[in-house]
């Protein structure tokens, strides 16, 4: 971080001056002055005495990847930061200009993704010809402005602000969970004074109950109002506010209220002090003990970029990673707090269900031998494989190859159901891409509740609606939205009306410049899905949603494995294969219709959690969870990303693809790959886009190539794809925190 650098910069001159001081004893002796450097006591004189900075400074790099984007090259203005000229677009603030110039300005209330409050005053800088220090976060940069960030005036201003901030801040860093990653701690080291003049009692504030996720210690709050602005602007729950005035000011909800947002965990990250911390993580670990592993999230189809912080074999917490194209810097509560599910209900050993109906741990050799023997006893068309929603591309590839070698092609990924159309990628991807949703001006949501299905996509839509007042129409059962929307209807009938131009919303769609239609993947399971999709395509055609420069026809998937499964062609051959199956291979699949599996079928469950699938299984093969393996996932917009192992596997568990590879050998149909690289080159022959990590591969052909279906639309209204946001897969179902959330926040 640039902060450490700045800290050393800020401290160095002070130290050298102290050493060269003529009479150090008198300095120490004179006791309780607050300013530590003599020239700080008369900053104006010192400022005059300072020589003009030399103009030929080496070019600096913008901070933290700060991007300068000129919407209009004529609007570029030049300002000078510490004598170094930078070109910035008009309308940038002084603070942003400093960031472009590579100078980190300390700040508390300013956050690039929130509105500007300007109330912490930490970002004061000196601007030439300005009588007072200027709050840089709220001051627009003007052409030719000479900004000075390192002058005695600026330093004294920061020192003073810091003294005020620390006035009422408790000295409980040793027992504070933010300790070690606290902005106030860092910045008081870098910019604060080594003593304060405050001798009164510190104030104290009553803690608020914000629910099972966010712990509050409101005495530590410095009233930066980031959480208030986050809740109002990003999360869309107007619960938090700034109450009272003056020294009695506090953040609160006034009436007892839990923060019921699917993004509430993010206030933990944006809180610059320890006022809002993670409740499940409280007193569990210090941040410097943790090993961070940059990986991705699999609890929904968004593929949020996360960092798994682990200590030894244990996942301690999950925090977001910046990815402008996918999750910006937020993650949903499910992503953040599902990690305790990784420690519960885990499958340790291969197990075989005995005659008494109880599982008995066996060795891998025995378990695989039993499975291989049964697999050879059934007819090939009676073999069915179902990949779970958390499956990675490698294991799905291995599963498909294995089943194909056994002579069956009945393999699919559970949330896709009997979805047959894996031919055209545009038919199941979010073609607009998540970040381009911001360019849309009209949204039509068909049978999807993005708030529970993909919270980060919903945050994007909300951002767009807030910024541009985009219209949102929604067809589906009554649902929770945190932005203005129009509930058009509940079922396919409304869809038909819009497609035929009889509905009032169709004019809004056809007048839109960049219309976006999002179809929920929950509709994949409907009988009339083809008719729905052709109705949607008709709407897209009349609204000109699919053009060379804009593709507004989207499918919002539900789970991490779905897109890759369809890319790899995991499509079942016959619709009723599960009902007639004799050998079912569940690779982490818990949400298939287990009751449809015939009683006499032999069920193998390979997975990491003792969830629904295990109850029906005859053999259990323990596998690694996403935090323990290297796997490729494709998110709903078609962006390929990889997980990285953060912690070792539990017990005798193995990576999914390795288990299938071993099983294939025991079964006598050896798969030709022994390494991850080898299996990836096999994937390359099927879906080469899965090898282009961190790249979004847009669909090449539009769905208009698809033959017209002559299915009839049923009148049955759309259902909800996800009943409980907090519990959607085996990890989140095993999580205690998620159970608390659904009990308290959803009242389920």
Interface contacts to other proteins, rule CB under 8 A? 25, 28-29, 31-32, 199-201, 203-206, 208, 219, 238-245, 247-250, 252-256
CB 242 to other proteins: min, Å = 6
Token look-up 């890759």 returns 564
CB 279 to other proteins: min, Å = 20
Give whichever of 232 and 464 is closer to other proteins, judged by the CB atom: 232
Give whichever of 28 and 705 is closer to other proteins, judged by the CB atom: 28
Tokens of 568: 């790899």
Give whichever of 242 and 422 is closer to other proteins, judged by the CB atom: 242
Token look-up 């933010």 returns 178
Q: What's the half-sphere exposure (Cβ side, CA atoms, 13 Å) at 719?
A: 13
Give whichever of 27 and 644 is closer to other proteins, judged by the CB atom: 27
Residues 486 and 473 sit within 8 Å (Cβ to Cβ)? yes
User: Rounded CA gap, 324 and 622, in Å?
Assistant: 36
Tokens of 81: 């930061």
CB 22 to other proteins: min, Å = 16
Residue spans of beta strands (DSSP E) within 629-702: 631-634, 639-643, 695-696
CB 191 to other proteins: min, Å = 25
CB 272 to other proteins: min, Å = 21
Give whichever of 240 and 387 is closer to other proteins, judged by the CB atom: 240
Give whichever of 28 and 76 is closer to other proteins, judged by the CB atom: 28
Torsion of CA 583, 588, 591, 592, to 10 degrees: -20
CB 205 to other proteins: min, Å = 7
Q: Which of 684, 628, 591, 626 is nearest to 397 (CA)?
A: 684
User: Rounded CA gap, 53 and 58, in Å?
Assistant: 12
CB 579 to other proteins: min, Å = 51
CB 27 to other proteins: min, Å = 11
CB 168 to other proteins: min, Å = 11
Give whichever of 153 and 205 is closer to other proteins, judged by the CB atom: 205
Q: Which of 629, 636, 623 is nearest to 585 (CA)?
A: 623
User: Rounded CA gap, 559 and 415, in Å?
Assistant: 7
- The H-or-E segment that residue 373 falls in is helix 364-377
Tell me how long the chain is. Answer: 748
CB 166 to other proteins: min, Å = 17
CB 165 to other proteins: min, Å = 18
- Tell me if residue 623 falls in helix, strand or coil: strand
Tokens of 360: 């008995």
Give whichever of 176 and 393 is closer to other proteins, judged by the CB atom: 176
Give whichever of 243 and 282 is closer to other proteins, judged by the CB atom: 243
Q: What's the half-sphere exposure (Cβ side, CA atoms, 13 Å) at 544?
A: 10
Residues 648 and 628 sit within 8 Å (Cβ to Cβ)? yes
User: Rounded CA gap, 119 and 113, in Å?
Assistant: 16
Q: Which of 117, 205, 128 is nearest to 168 (CA)?
A: 205
Q: What's the half-sphere exposure (Cβ side, CA atoms, 13 Å) at 725?
A: 24
Q: Which of 679, 590, 693, 623 is nearest to 305 (CA)?
A: 693
Give whichever of 205 and 509 is closer to other proteins, judged by the CB atom: 205
CB 411 to other proteins: min, Å = 50
Residues 400 and 391 sit within 8 Å (Cβ to Cβ)? no
- Residue 298 sits at the vertex; the CA angle it makes with 295 and 302, to the nearest 5 degrees, is 95
Give whichever of 199 and 685 is closer to other proteins, judged by the CB atom: 199
DSSP output for 581-607: -SEEEEES--SS-GGGS-TT-EEEEEE
CB 255 to other proteins: min, Å = 5
Give whichever of 214 and 558 is closer to other proteins, judged by the CB atom: 214
Give whichever of 204 and 675 is closer to other proteins, judged by the CB atom: 204
Handedness of CA 693, 696, 697, 699 (dihedral sign): positive
């Amino acid at each position: 971080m640039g902060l450490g650098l700045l800290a050393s910069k800020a401290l160095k001159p002070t130290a050298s001056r102290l050493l060269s001081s003529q009479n150090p004893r008198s300095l120490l002796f004179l006791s309780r002055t607050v300013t530590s450097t003599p020239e700080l006591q008369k900053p104006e004189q010192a400022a005059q005495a300072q020589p003009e900075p030399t103009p030929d400074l080496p070019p600096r790099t913008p901070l933290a990847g700060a991007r300068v984007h000129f919407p209009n090259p004529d609007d570029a203005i030049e300002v000078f930061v510490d004598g170094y000229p930078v070109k910035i677009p008009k309308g940038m603030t002084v603070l942003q200009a400093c960031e472009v110039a590579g100078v980190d300005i300390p700040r508390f209330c300013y956050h690039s993704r929130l509105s500007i409050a300007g109330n912490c005053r930490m970002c004061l800088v000196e601007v030439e010809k300005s009588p007072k220090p200027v709050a840089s976060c709220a001051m627009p940069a003007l052409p030719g402005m000479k900004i000075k960030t390192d002058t005695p005036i600026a330093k004294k201003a920061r020192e003073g602000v810091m003294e005020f901030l620390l006035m009422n801040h408790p000295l409980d860093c040793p027992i504070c969970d933010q300790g070690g990653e606290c902005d106030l701690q860092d910045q008081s080291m870098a910019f604060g004074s080594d003593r304060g003049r405050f001798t009164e009692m510190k104030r104290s504030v009553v803690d608020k109950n914000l629910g099972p996720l966010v712990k509050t210690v409101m005495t530590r709050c410095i009233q930066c109002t980031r959480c208030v602005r986050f809740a109002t602007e990003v999360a869309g729950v107007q619960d938090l506010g700034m109450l009272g005035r003056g020294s009695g000011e506090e953040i609160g909800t006034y009436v007892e209220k839990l923060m019921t947002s699917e993004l509430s965990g993010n206030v933990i990250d944006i809180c610059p002090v320890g006022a809002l911390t993670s409740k499940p993580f409280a007193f569990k670990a210090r941040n410097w003990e943790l090993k961070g592993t940059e990986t991705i999230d699999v609890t929904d189809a968004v593929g949020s970029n996360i960092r798994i912080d682990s200590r030894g074999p244990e996942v301690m917490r999950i925090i977001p990673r910046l990815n402008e194209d996918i999750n910006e810097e937020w993650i949903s509560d499910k992503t953040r707090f599902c990690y305790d599910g990784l420690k519960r209900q885990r499958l340790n050993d291969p197990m075989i269900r005995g005659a008494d109906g109880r599982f008995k741990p066996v060795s891998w050799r025995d378990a695989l031998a039993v499975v291989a023997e049964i697999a050879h006893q059934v007819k090939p068309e009676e073999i069915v494989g179902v990949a779970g929603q958390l499956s990675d591309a490698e294991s799905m590839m291995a599963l498909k190859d294995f089943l194909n070698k056994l002579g069956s092609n009945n393999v699919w990924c559970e949330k896709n159901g009997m979805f047959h159309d894996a031919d055209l990628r545009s038919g199941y991807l979010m073609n607009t891409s998540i970040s381009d949703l911001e360019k849309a001006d009209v949204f039509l949501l068909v049978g999807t509740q993005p708030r529970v299905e993909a919270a980060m996509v919903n945050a994007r839509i909300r951002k767009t609606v807030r910024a541009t007042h985009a219209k949102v129409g929604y067809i589906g059962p009554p649902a929770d939205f945190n932005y203005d929307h129009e509930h058009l209807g509940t079922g396919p009938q409304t869809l038909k009306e819009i497609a035929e131009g009889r509905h009032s919303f169709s004019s809004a769609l056809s007048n839109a410049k960049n219309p976006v239609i999002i179809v929920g993947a929950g509709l994949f399971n409907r009988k009339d899905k083809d008719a729905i999709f052709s109705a949607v395509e008709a709407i897209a055609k009349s609204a000109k949603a699919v053009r060379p420069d804009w593709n507004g026809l989207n499918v919002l998937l539900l789970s991490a494995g779905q897109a890759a499964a369809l890319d790899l062609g995991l499509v079942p051959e016959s619709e009723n294969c599960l009902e007639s199956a004799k050998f079912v291979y569940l690779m982490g699949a818990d949400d298939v219709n287990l009751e449809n599996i015939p009683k006499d079928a032999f069920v193998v469950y390979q997975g990491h959690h003792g969830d629904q699938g295990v109850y029906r299984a005859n053999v259990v093969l323990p596998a690694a969870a996403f935090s323990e393996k290297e796997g490729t996932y494709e998110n709903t917009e078609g962006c390929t990303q990889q997980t990285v192992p953060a912690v070792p596997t539990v017990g005798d568990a193995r990576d999914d693809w390795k288990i299938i590879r071993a099983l294939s050998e025991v079964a006598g149909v050896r798969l030709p790959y022994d390494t991850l690289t080898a299996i990836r080159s096999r994937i390359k022959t099927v879906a080469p886009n899965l090898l282009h990590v961190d790249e979004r591969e847009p669909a090449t052909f539009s769905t208009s190539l698809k033959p017209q279906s002559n299915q009839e639309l049923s009148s049955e209204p759309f259902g909800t794809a996800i009943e409980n946001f907090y519990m959607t897969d085996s990890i989140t179902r095993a999580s205690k925190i998620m159970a608390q959330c659904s009990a308290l926040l959803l009242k389920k």
